[in-house]
Structure 1
Amino acid sequence: MRISTPTMYNLNVSSMNRQQAEFSQISQQIASGKRVVNIADDPQAMTQAVNIRQSKAVTEQYAEARVGVRNSLAQEENVLNTVSDVYARAKTLLVQASSDTLADPDRAAVASELKGLYESLQGLANTRDGNGRYLFGGYQDDTAPFIKNGAGTVDYVGNTNVREQQIDGDRRMAIGHSGQDVFLNVHNSANYGVQADAANQGALRFDNVNIIDPNDPNFGQQYDITFEENAGQLQYRVNGGAAIDYNDPMKIPLDGIELEVNGVPVAGDQLTVARGADLNTNIFRTFEQAIAVLDQPAATDNQKANRANQIRSAMQQFDNSLDNVLTTRAEVGARLNELDGLDTIGGNRELAYEQALSDLVDLNYVEASAEYSLRIVGLQAAQKTFVSMKEMSLFKFL
C-alpha cells in the first residue's frame, strides 16, 4: 500500500489538533473550576444543573422576601413597644387623677399630659415603614390611616386588610396588622368592664368586678343594670328582670360575678357590665373621654361620681387595650420566630443545592491535574512525532 507524504502530514496534523483540543479543554476546566463548561461536555449533568440553579434562585428570592418582612415586623414591634409605654403612662396618670385629694387644676394638668400622649399615639399609629407605607394603614398608602375629623376626634380611615408576602414555597405571611386590629379592637378580652351612662344624675359609683364562678353556665354575658324608686325604696333591675332592693354600699350578684357599687343613684341611672370586647374598644375615644372629664371641674356629688366612673372605665379600657397590644406583639414575635426557622430551612436547602451543583459540574482538581499532565505529554509526543516524520523523504536519498 502506498502512503503519500500528504497523508502522513494530515494524520500528524489531525493528531496534534486533537491533542491540542483536549489540552485546551482540560486547561479551561482548571481555569474555571468546572467539569462541565459547555453543554456538550455533559448534556445530562448540565440539564440537571440548570434545574437546580432555578430552584436555588427561587430559594434566594424567598430569602430576600423574608428580609423585607422581618424589617417591617421588627419596626412594628418597636412601635408597639412604644404604644405599650404610652398606655402604661396614661394609666398611671388616671390613677393619680382618681384621688379625691387632687384639686381641679391638678387634674387639668394631668389632662394636659394626657393630650400629649394622645397626640403621640396618633403619630405612632401613622408610622411609615422603610418603603413609605403606613404600618397600620392596610392597603391604603396615599393618606394617613388616623386623621382628626371636624369635631377634633380621631377616626380610622385606613384599610382593614393586611398585606401578605410569599416567604416560602407554600407559606404567605401577613406583614403587620391593620390599625383597626391594634387601636380599635380588643382580642377576646376576658376582663369584665363597667360603663356608667353619661346621663346618670345620682352619685352612684362602681368599683371592682369580682369573678366568683367562671364555670357558671351564663358566665360572660352582658348585663344592663337600671335603677328605679318604688315607694321610697331604691331598686335595680338586671336586663329588665325582677326589681331588687338597693343598699349602699352593696355587691350586685350576677352570673358568676359580682359588682361592687356605692353611693346613692337616682331613678333612671344605668350601668353596663360586659366583657372588654363588648364595651368601648377605641383607644382614641378612651383618651378623648378621659381628657374631657378631667378638664371639666366637678362641684356636685353627681359630677364627682360621674368623673370617678369615667376615670375607672378609662383605666379598664387602657388595661384591655394594653392586653390587646401585648397579644399583637406576641403575634409579631411568633412571626419573627417563624422567619428565623424558615431562614434556617432555606439555608440548609441552599447548601443542598450547592452540593448537588458541585457534584454535577464542579471539577475534581486531583483528577484534572493528572489529566492536564497527561495531555501535555500527549501533545508533546504528537509534536515530536510530526517533527521526526516530516524529515522522512525519498528525496534525501537521491
Structure 2
Amino acid sequence: MRISTLTMFGQSVASMNRQQSDFLKVSEQIASGRRVVNPSDDPQAASRAVGVDQAKAATEQYADSRVSARNSLAQTESILNSISDANISAKTLLVQASSDTLSDVDRQSVASELKGIYETMLGQANATDGNGRYLFGGYKDNAPPFVKDADGNVQYNGDSNAREQRIDASRLMPVADNGETIFKSVPSGAGYVAEAQSGNQGNVTFGGPQIRDVNDTDYGKDFQINFTSDSEFNIETFDGTNWNAVESNIAYTGNQDDSVQQVSFGGVSITLQGTPETGDKILAAQAGSEQREPNLFRTMEEAIRVLETPADDPAKKADLRNTLNTAMRDLDNSLDNVLTVRASAGARLNELDVVDAVGSNRMLNYEQTLSDLVDLDYNEAISEYSLRQVGMQAAQKAFVDVKGMSLFNYM
C-alpha cells in the first residue's frame, strides 16, 4: 500500500486540530464553570435547564411582588393603628362631653378637639403609598377616595374592590382594603343601634337598646317608635317601601316625673324617658342595615354638631344626650371593625413570611437542579484538561517526527 506524504501530513494536522479542539473545549468549561457551555454539549440537559431557568425567574418575580405587597400591607396596618388610636380618643372625649357638669363652652372646647381628630381620620383615609396611589380607593386609586361635598359631608368616591397582587403562582393576595370596608362597615357581630330621628321636637331620651332574646321570631328586624301623641306610640317595621305599624296605640308613661318606660320588640328592648311631641320617632336598627348604614365620618360630624350647639332647652339637651349615646355606640362598632381589618392585614403579613420561606426553599431546589444539569465537576475537568494537554503535545511531537521522515535517509 502506497501512503503519500500529503496523506501523512493531512492526518497529522487533523489529529492536532482534534486534540486542540478537545483541549480548548475543556478550557472553556473550566473558565465558565459550566459543563454545558453550548446546547450541543448536552441537548437534553440544556433543554431542562431552560425550563428551570424560567421557573427560577418567575419565582424571583414573585419575590419582588411580595416585597411590594409587604410594603402596602405594612403601611395599611400602620394607618389602621392610627385610626384605632383616633377612635379611642374620640370615644374618650364623648364620654367626657356626656357629663352634665360641663357647660356649653366646655362642650365647644371638646368639639374643637374632636374636629382635630376628625381631620386626622380624613387625612389617614386619603393616605397614599410610595407610588402616589391612594391606598383605600380600591382600584380607583388615582384620586382621593373621601371628599367633602357642597354640604360638607364626606362622600366615598372609591370602588368596593380590594386591590390584589399575585405573590405566588397560586395566590392572589389583597394588599389594600377599600375605604368602605374600613370606614363604612361594622363587624358581623355588631348589635342594634338606637337613633333619635332628626326633627324631633320633644325631649325624650333613650337608653340601650339591649338584646333580650335572639330566638324571638322578629329578632333582626329594624323597628321605630313613632309617637302619635304625648301619651301613645306605635311600633313600626319597614317592608322595603313604607313603615307599617305592627303594634298600635301603646300607652306611654315615660313622661311622668322620674319614670321610665321599657319598650320591647323582636327580642330587643329600649328604655325611654321624657316628654315627646307628636311625630317624634326613635329608630332601633341593626348596625350596618339599610336603615342604619354605618359611616364613621357621619358619626363624627353629628357629634361635633351637637357639641357645638348650646343645650339651652329640654329638646336640645335630649338631642345632645341621644346623639352622644348613638355616637359612642357607633364608635365602638367602628373600633371593632378597624381592629378586625387590622387583624386581617396582620394575618396577610404573616402569610407573606410563610410564602417567602417556601419561595426561598424553592429557589434552593432550582439552584441545585441547575447545578446538577449544567455545572462543572472541577476534579473531573482538571483531569480531562491534563489528559487533553498531553494528547495535544503527543500529536504535535508525532507530526514533527513524521515530517522529518524520508526514504532518502536510508538510501
Q: Which range, TM-score by smaller chain? A: over 0.9
Q: How does 1:125-136 map to 2 (within 5 A)?
A: 125-136=125-136
How much has 1:383 moved relative to structure 2?
Answer: 2.2
What is the letter of the counterpart of residue 41 of structure 2?
Answer: D
Residues in 2 aligned to 1:185 and 1:157: alpha-carbon distance in whole angstroms: 15
What is the letter of the counterpart of residue 199 of structure 1?
Answer: G
CA distances 1:88-129 after superposition (whole Å, capped 9, x unpaired): 111110000001111111100000011111111111111111
Ranges in structure 2 where 5+ consecutive residues have no aligned partner: 237-244, 254-258
Residues in 2 aligned to 1:16 and 1:316: alpha-carbon distance in whole angstroms: 94
Q: Does 1:152 align with 2:165?
A: no
Residues in 1 aligned to 2:211 and 2:194: alpha-carbon distance in whole angstroms: 14
Residues in 2 aligned to 1:330 and 1:245: alpha-carbon distance in whole angstroms: 47
Residues in 2 aligned to 1:254 and 1:160: alpha-carbon distance in whole angstroms: 34
The answer for the alignment partner of 1:326 in structure 2 is 339
How much has 1:280 moved relative to structure 2?
Answer: 4.1
Residues in 2 aligned to 1:82 and 1:214: alpha-carbon distance in whole angstroms: 35
Residues in 2 aligned to 1:70 and 1:108: alpha-carbon distance in whole angstroms: 42
Which stretch of structure 1 is more off in the superposition, 90-99 or 113-122? 113-122
SS of aligned partner of 2:59 = helix
What is the letter of the counterpart of residue 250 of structure 1?
Answer: Q
Could you tell me the TM-score, scaled by structure 1's length?
A: 0.93
CA distances 1:210-239 after superposition (whole Å, capped 9, x unpaired): 22222333322212112234xxx8233222
Residues in 2 aligned to 1:139 and 1:210: alpha-carbon distance in whole angstroms: 40
Asked whether the equivalents of residues 218 and 265 of structure 2 are also in contact (C-alpha less than 8 Å), the reply is no
The answer for the alignment partner of 1:8 in structure 2 is 8
The answer for the alignment partner of 2:249 in structure 1 is 243
2:282 pairs with 271, 277, 281, which one? 271
What is the letter of the counterpart of residue 53 of structure 1?
Answer: D
Could you tell me the TM-score, scaled by structure 2's length?
A: 0.91
What is the letter of the counterpart of residue 74 of structure 1?
Answer: A
What is the letter of the counterpart of residue 31 of structure 1?
Answer: A
The answer for the alignment partner of 1:260 in structure 2 is 271
The answer for the alignment partner of 1:377 in structure 2 is 390
How much has 1:23 moved relative to structure 2?
Answer: 1.1
Asked whether the equivalents of residues 186 and 276 of structure 1 are also in contact (C-alpha less than 8 Å), the reply is yes
Ranges in structure 1 where 5+ consecutive residues have no aligned partner: none
SS of aligned partner of 2:298 = helix
Asked whether the equivalents of residues 280 and 317 of structure 1 are also in contact (C-alpha less than 8 Å), the reply is no
Q: How does 1:317-396 map to 2 (within 5 A)?
A: 317-396=330-409
CA distances 1:179-220 after superposition (whole Å, capped 9, x unpaired): 222212324352221101122222211122222222333322
Residues in 2 aligned to 1:41 and 1:139: alpha-carbon distance in whole angstroms: 50
Q: Does 1:58 align with 2:69?
A: no
What is the letter of the counterpart of residue 394 of structure 2?
Answer: A
SS of aligned partner of 2:105 = helix
Residues in 2 aligned to 1:40 and 1:334: alpha-carbon distance in whole angstroms: 50
The answer for the alignment partner of 1:185 in structure 2 is 185
What is the letter of the counterpart of residue 198 of structure 2?
Answer: A
SS of aligned partner of 1:277 = coil
What is the letter of the counterpart of residue 350 of structure 1?
Answer: M
How much has 1:316 moved relative to structure 2?
Answer: 0.9
Q: Does 1:234 align with 2:231?
A: yes
CA distances 1:116-162 after superposition (whole Å, capped 9, x unpaired): 11111111111111111011122334432222222222222233333
The answer for the alignment partner of 2:162 in structure 1 is 162
The answer for the alignment partner of 1:103 in structure 2 is 103
What is the letter of the counterpart of residue 245 of structure 1?
Answer: A
Asked whether the equivalents of residues 189 and 320 of structure 1 are also in contact (C-alpha less than 8 Å), the reply is no
Residues in 2 aligned to 1:136 and 1:180: alpha-carbon distance in whole angstroms: 8
What is the letter of the counterpart of residue 282 of structure 1?
Answer: N
SS of aligned partner of 1:243 = strand
How much has 1:372 moved relative to structure 2?
Answer: 1.6
CA distances 1:352-372 after superposition (whole Å, capped 9, x unpaired): 222221111111122212212
What's the % identity of the aligned pairs?
52
The answer for the alignment partner of 1:94 in structure 2 is 94
Residues in 2 aligned to 1:262 and 1:120: alpha-carbon distance in whole angstroms: 36
What is the letter of the counterpart of residue 344 of structure 2?
Answer: E
Pairwise CA RMSD: 1.9
The answer for the alignment partner of 2:311 in structure 1 is 298
SS of aligned partner of 2:206 = strand
Asked whether the equivalents of residues 189 and 277 of structure 1 are also in contact (C-alpha less than 8 Å), the reply is no
Residues in 2 aligned to 1:380 and 1:219: alpha-carbon distance in whole angstroms: 99
Q: Does 1:23 align with 2:36?
A: no
The answer for the alignment partner of 1:215 in structure 2 is 215
The answer for the alignment partner of 1:172 in structure 2 is 172
Residues in 1 aligned to 2:307 and 2:314: alpha-carbon distance in whole angstroms: 15
Residues in 2 aligned to 1:99 and 1:197: alpha-carbon distance in whole angstroms: 23
The size of the alignment, in residue pairs, is 395
